Homo-oligomer: A and B are copies of this chain.
Amino acid sequence: MVEEEKSKENSHSIMKTYIQLSLCVICCLLFAELAAQDTTKIIFHAPENPERAKAPFSEAVQAGNLFFLAGQIGMDRTVGKLAEGGIQGETEQTIKNIEGVLQYHGLTLDNVVKCTVILSDINDFKAFNEVYVKHFTKKPARTTYAAAGLAAGAKIEIDVIAVK
């Protein structure tokens, strides 16, 4: 091979390398754009118990890694009544219900980032809190207040946002 030919081949090879790298960069940009996502996948999850599919809301709606749960009250689903034991009994049952929904989606109370606690009586605060702290040990952000009325005569309703 003569020197001239070799030099021509080298410059050709350098150009080829540049083209390849440019293509790579373009691919990367396209996929980065893809990853940034123009839309987030929303899943209105069906409930674990098909009987509850009549409810006018989903127990959990997933948007990407965020899970929005329907507010739960202390309804004991095995008997269809609010749990006994006053505010503490209802708080236990409410948290149990939340745990059930989370578990069905591979989550635990440790995935909860925000709790909104709605009491029917602000004087139940201390009693409710005694039960609460035993379960929400990761300490989600929390807002607590008393409403003028809750569904089904409940003493407490807890609404959570979880993140996987």
Interface, chain A (partner B; CB < 8 A) = 1, 13, 16-17, 20-21, 23-25, 27-37, 39-40, 42, 44, 55-61, 63-66, 68-71, 111, 113-116, 118-119, 121-123, 125, 129, 132-133, 136, 138-151, 157, 159, 161, 163-164
Contact = CB atoms under 8 A, between A and B. Distances in A.
B140 A151 contact: no
A122 B145 contact: no
A49 B63 CA distance: 29
Given A35-B35, A148-B146, A44 B139 contact: yes
Contacts of A31: 28-29, 31-32, 35
A127 B13 CA distance: 74
A26 to B, nearest CB: 10
A78 to B, nearest CB: 23
A116 B70 CA distance: 9
A141 B20 contact: no
Contacts of A121: 149
A143 to B, nearest CB: 3
A141 B58 contact: yes
Nearest to A60: B141
A63 B143 contact: no
B151 A145 contact: yes
Nearest to A46: B139
A141 to B, nearest CB: 4
Given A40-B164, A44-B138, A111-B42, A71 B143 contact: yes
